[in-house]
Amino acid sequence: MLRRSLSRLCAGEEKRVGTRTVVVGHRPVLETDAYVAQKFCDNRIVSSKYTLWNFLPKNLFEQFRRIANFYFLIIFLVQVIVDTPTSPVTSGLPLFFVITVTAIKQGYEDWLRHRADNEVNKSNVFIVENAKQVQKESEKIKVGDIVEVKADETFPCDLIFLASSSIDGTCYVTTASLDGESNFKTHYAVRDTTVLCTDEAIDALTATIECEQPQPDLYKFVGRIIIYRSNQEPIARSLGPENLLLKGATLKNTKKIYGVAVYTGMETKMALNYQGKSQKRSAVEKSINAFLIVYLCILLSKATVCTTLKYVWQSNPFNDEPWYNEKTKKERETFKVLRMFTDFLSFMVLFNFIIPVSMYVTVEMQKFLGSFFISWDKEMYDEEIKEGALVNTSDLNEELGQVEYVFTDKTGTLTENSMEFIECCIDGHKYKDCISEVDGFSQTDGPLKYGKAEKSREELFLRALCLCHTVQIKEADQVDGLIGHPERKYTYISSSPDEIALVKGAEKYGFTFLGLENDFMKIRNQTNETEMYQLLHVLNFDPVRRRMSVIVRTTTGKLLLFCKGADSSIFPRVQQEEIQQTKVHVDRNAMDGYRTLCVAFKELTQKEYDKIDRQLNEAKMALQDREEKMAKVFEDTEADMHLIGATAVEDRLQEQSAETIEALHAAGMKVWVLTGDKMETAKSTCYACRLFQTSTELLELTAKTVGESERKEDRLHELLMEYHKKLIQDIPKNRGGLKRSWTLCQEYGLIIDGSTLSLILNPSQDSSSSNYKNIFLQICLKCTAVLCCRMAPLQKAQIVRMVKNTKGSPITLSIGDGANDVSMILEAHVGIGIKGKEGRQASRNSDYAVPKFKHLRKLLLAHGHLYYVRIAHLVQYFFYKNLCFILPQFLYQFFCGFSQQPLYDAAYLTMYNICFTSLPILAYSLLEQHINIDTLTSDPQLYMKVSDNAMLQWKPFLYWTFLGAFEGLVFFFGVYFLFQNSSLEDNGKVFGNWTFGTIVFTVLVFTVTLKLALDTRFWTWMNHFVIWGSLAFYVFFSFFWGGVIWPFLKQQRMYFVFAHMLTSVSTWLAIILLIFISLFPEILLIVLKNIKEKNHQVRCRIAVRCPLQA
């Protein structure tokens, strides 16, 4: 793709490497020297990562790129090569377990992908060859093949639409699998091939297609088809997105179509869109890596101390070579430095279990299994769309509990995106009520004009609403859609709810759109007469122009251009004296929270139209820079128009959106609204959804306050400095150290528009204000709420990136429902898509998708809070239990002459992390609810208690580390003092070092498991099963392991040790006492905490009663 992009930029000719030439049906063209055959990929889809042959090496390579796995591999190799105190099995088996579990998981996922690929690749399709239909497997389609697709079938590759069973050469498709849009889209066949609707006719076609190389944008396509006919000049026609049928889309309400394959296999737009998203890493992962470095330093320190003290100990000749253990000749001749290095490695191996390799598998399992709770949440299921929440990535679950900034779209996110026509104005006259055929429909409003507009102007306005759109009509029983009236037997379909609302508004006032047939738009007027208009050109809407136009010809031959768009886009292009009377209505409607559009027209002469037609056709035929050339023609065409009036459409607030924003504010989050709407409309919505309170002081940085003069940069600088002084210099610094204390101060809100943001982010070269951005950022961060209006999609992403990269790297969340929100969703730490009415591009590109904005409250305050607490506890617990495990081993070296003698048996070393202590913490990290979910949702301030990564800071980490060190000391020295009298039985039989280690290990397993039981607040049958089951399994395993003479072991050092140990009453008492002493500080803390909470509750009750008595 990079080479292709470079080739497009570097080449200068029209036809270059950045384009491809496709021969339709592989029929040779007469001018053979003009065509150089190109090789294209086959139609196989490969979404799998591995093959049977490369799975093992590729998967192992990927797994060993993880530091912990690579570290344990080195330790294992050291154990194999060097004579170490523990068997290679002790580190090899846990590593093998981790690698195997991960490989099985990834292998299974890849097998599912292989199976899905085969279903697609082996499906049957029909190719037209030699005027006959030939059945082939989908993977055998080649670029240039003519493919026949029947109704309700999925397109097997990207096709140029040549002909269909419909006479007018149209077909209807749904693209739900691509962008989630379930509405029907109309596609058009190439004008000159629409009649070729039989196998024989289509096979006789001789043509070539020149088009751009594959690129992932679903909504862009640039190409042209050249049709060759005998004894005639070749005909060239432009090709655009309306002629391209995408792989994955489904043919609807059309019997069959013919198309020629232009992109196949991994070059189809669907395949290019599903090739990976950038990987987002959570803050928890960063904390794990930091803690891992600390424990690695502890490990190195232990190994260094023990190696040093060993040689200090051996400086005494008697200790170095006692009479009962003389050195061999080889040992005497070995270099001392090499011996020291070998000993250092041996100590590293002995203590290596302080690094918890199994933690990574447990964390992965916790994230994967935990994500199902979001999908299963019935409260986040929407009855209207029959869908619930969706998790696209489980790696960021805990990040939901750390959000500081929420960036939200307005239309379709805070509002319903269900448009209703409210009113309109024509030549300054307000119209609200339905009209009769005679009386008109004017209504006056306060200081606005009385009376009504001329009848001809009313009709012109309503015709403009009926003609200037891309609405399609379909029979109501054939498609799900919006049905305006029960008696109407059709429904309007459009990608924009605004357009349907306007067409319905015109229908309410007597002008009904009847559909498009053979390039003629039909409307029924107020006198029930049918009018016909030839549709000559559609100048499509785009977010940059913010308007759309149509050029039509009346039956009398008159040429008209109708245009509708945002007021900021229309006003500069109409006669200035016409603006004021309409602007009053537009501003008032915007203040009321309505979405406004202005309508304009102009009459074209035949000469003007011929020029526009020629320019448009030239621009459409361009293979390079087509969009820029089209935009230039649009700009020239949509000039010197006459303003007719404006419309007002209401987009209601979503249910509970105001309550949700209040809850997010109370939880310490700052909410920013980023919208493309005009300021007045967005401002009204922000007040309605309580983003701005009546007490909020608003600061404005808009074209209105900055001005349009040459001094606007100076004025902007003045405003920035004024606001900076007000917010930063004049407000005293917070002394209480409260987290997110801005919620306690005077509330400020900032309003900025797109043009002013461009000035701030991209100041002119001669501007002395290069620090605009920093001042602006400081102002923004001090405001409780920010409204950014008139934002382009790229500007939304710039805002998110700017906040994300500030000092402290605050966690950002973006939520939106449309394609224009995708950029900010991908930019934020956490991206949330709403399954809205503007398609599913947002939910498809997001990390999580929810049906409504209100579901964000529970997703963050309940799920996010709990996920963070669970995984934070899991991480700290893993480091804690491994420190408890290895510290006694380290202390034991001081009592065995630093001889690297292991304290625990190899089986215990191997099974500790895999079996004895893994399941309880996994169950805890999936099921724990330290606070009830309803309480978390209803009390947002609880969210602040875990904000700023509170549970994985150095303070709690040190607490867990000291707790682990304390318990390790208790385990070792408690058993050591018990062994002051090594005869623990009445018969005087002495216990040995393996009994000593087994007692320490027993106390260890019971203590760390019971510690988790003390931490558990939400008990389920599963918690009981894994906690008590793990302890029972340990006891059973110990009896079993020591009760059998194993033939594969060289020595039976654990034979009958555990059973014999439990025959001593002293051992029983010691185990129980040591477990109690180890857990006593934790029990004491819990008791003190409960007493403190009860005292607080009592004080609250007294405080409530006293005012009542007074």
Q: What is the CA radius of gyration of the chain?
A: 37
CA-nearest of 543, 568, 824, 539 to 672 is: 824
- Strand order of the β-sheet with 244-245 is 132-137, 124-129, 146-150, 256-263, 158-164, 244-245
C-alpha dihedral sign at 1101, 1103, 1104, 1107: positive
d(Cα 86, Cα 79) in Å, to the nearest integer?
7
Tokens standing for residue 99: 């690698």
Tokens standing for residue 360: 């990574």
161 within 8 A of 249, measured Cβ to Cβ: no
| Distance, CA of 477 to chain centre | 36
DSSP conformational letter for 98: H
Nearest-10 Cα torsion for 1085, 1089, 1095, 1099 = 140
The phi and psi torsions of 691 (rounded to 5 degrees) equal: -70, -45
* Secondary structure class of 1023 (helix, strand, coil): helix
The phi and psi torsions of 140 (rounded to 5 degrees) equal: -95, 5
422 within 8 A of 656, measured Cβ to Cβ: no
Residues 6+ apart with CB under 8 A from 748: 696, 697, 698, 699, 726, 727, 782, 783, 784
Q: Look up 110 and say whether it is catalytic.
A: no
CA distances from 620 to 20, 102, 216, 613, 761 (A): 17, 52, 20, 10, 34
* Secondary structure class of 91 (helix, strand, coil): helix
d(Cα 846, Cα 277) in Å, to the nearest integer?
10
| Distance, CA of 645 to chain centre | 41
CA distances from 704 to 30, 255, 701, 752 (A): 63, 56, 8, 10
d(Cα 72, Cα 89) in Å, to the nearest integer?
12
Q: Of all helices (H) and strands (E), which one includes residue 642? A: strand 642-653
Helices marked H in 170-226: 176-179, 199-203
Indicate which residue of 158, 199, 203, 409 is catalytic: 409
Other C-beta atoms closer than 10 Å to the C-beta of 107 total: 15
402 within 8 A of 943, measured Cβ to Cβ: no
The phi and psi torsions of 131 (rounded to 5 degrees) equal: 65, 20
Burial (0-12, 13-18, 19+ Cβ within 10 Å), 265: buried
Can you point out the beta strands (E) in 121-222? Answer: 124-129, 132-137, 146-150, 158-164, 170-175, 181-188, 207-212
d(Cα 369, Cα 353) in Å, to the nearest integer?
26
CA angle 212, 213, 215 (to 5 degrees): 100
- DSSP codes of every residue in 71-110: HHHHHHHHHHHS--SS-THHHHHHHHHHHHHHHHHHHHHH
Active site residues: 409
